[in-house]
Every structure is written in structure tokens, then in C-alpha cells.
Structure 1
């Protein structure tokens, strides 16, 4: 079993080859190949490699599948004693990526 912990868009994600993940928006076109260089941990069966802070010799190759929006969040703000209420919605822009291979 091969997996890696990658920092992408301010989040740390455990990725495995052949699986897809929804991450914060990545400015790339669908079909583009991106290299994820900020690999924090790499594990292959019983062997672990931990970076301080990153591993320089490990690259995760991912393909951008499509752009989408996350589920809708309702933001409701109230100012007490002022009769001021604001209701807004928010949908985060996301990118779906497919992890193709982890190079060592």
C-alpha cells in the first residue's frame, strides 16, 4: 500500500494512487497534469519517510478532472439590540483531481 500526505490549498490530504479528491480550487484547466511537490510524508508498505518540512525527492502526479462547487452554507449574522439581520449563502469553488502516480 502506497500513500502520501500532501499539502495543497492550505490543507493536508492523505492521497493514494487511483483515487480522486475534491480540493480547494486549483487554477488549471480540466485535463491538465499537475505536480504536487509539497509532500510531507511518504509511506510504502512498512517504510515511512517524513520530511522536515517536505520531501524533495517525492512528487505526486495528479490530473485535473473538473471544477465544481461545494455544498451551500448559510451564513446568518445578527447584531444584538440593533434589529440588524443578514442572511447570505456561500458555495466554495472546488477542483476534483485524480492521483495518477507517486514518484520516488
Structure 2
């Protein structure tokens, strides 16, 4: 519980711990196709906490890497959007599902040592 990192993925900040899985919308660029068990490394680490020590980056830590692997791709709940035009008495409904990738964190590295 006292070993964690805060990473920046797709403009969102996630608090990640070893052995837990997380969902991210923009993990890699759209050109790459990710399959299950693909290894990923996240270099945009904002903060690492190990015991009572905290390492804070400005904006990122230089020698910090969070390593993990892809579990599978998944969808979130469908987002429904309705446009109502009261004067024309029309209703337009459309929606979409956001593609997300579920990944698990295997290790957190800072410098040359593994913290988790």
C-alpha cells in the first residue's frame, strides 16, 4: 500500500500499484495494434512513493519507468447523446462506446532498482 506511482496516460493521471490492473483510453499511438501479453513501459511518471520517501518530478521523473503488460481490450458503457430541437419537434439520438485497454502493472523502477 505504501509503494505506488502516479503516471500520466492520455492526459489523465493514474495512481498505480504493482499487481493491479487499470483501464486507459490512450495508452499508445493509434498506429500500433496491441495484442494480449504485449509488454508496455510508461515513462511519464510524475511521482513515486516508496515507504516514507517521496520522489517528485518536474514535470516527470527522469529515471522512472512503470512496466506492465496488456491484458485485453475492452469497452466502457455506451455513451448516449440526444439532441432535441424543440421548435422543429425533432429528437436525434446517437451514441458510441469508448475503446479502452486494460493493463496490469508488473513493476515500478526508479533509477536502477525495482521498488515493487
Please tell me the TM-score bracket, short chain as reference.
Answer: over 0.9
Question: TM-score w.r.t. structure 2 length?
Answer: 0.84
Deviations 1:17-62 (A, max 9, x none): 0000111143422111110000011101111111110001110001
Question: Aligned residues, how many?
Answer: 104
Alignment of 1:8-87 (within 5 A): 8-26=9-27, 27=32, 28-87=34-93
Q: State the 4+ residue runs in structure 1 displaced beyond 4 angstroms.
A: none
Please, which runs of 5 or more residues in structure 1 have no aligned partner? none
| Partners of 2:26 and 2:65 in 1: CA distance | 20
* CA distances 1:37-92 after superposition (whole Å, capped 9, x unpaired): 00011101111111110001110001000001101121111133122321112211
Q: Which has the higher strand share?
A: 1
User: C-alpha distance in 1, partners of 2:81/2:71?
Assistant: 30
Aligned CA-pair RMSD: 1.2
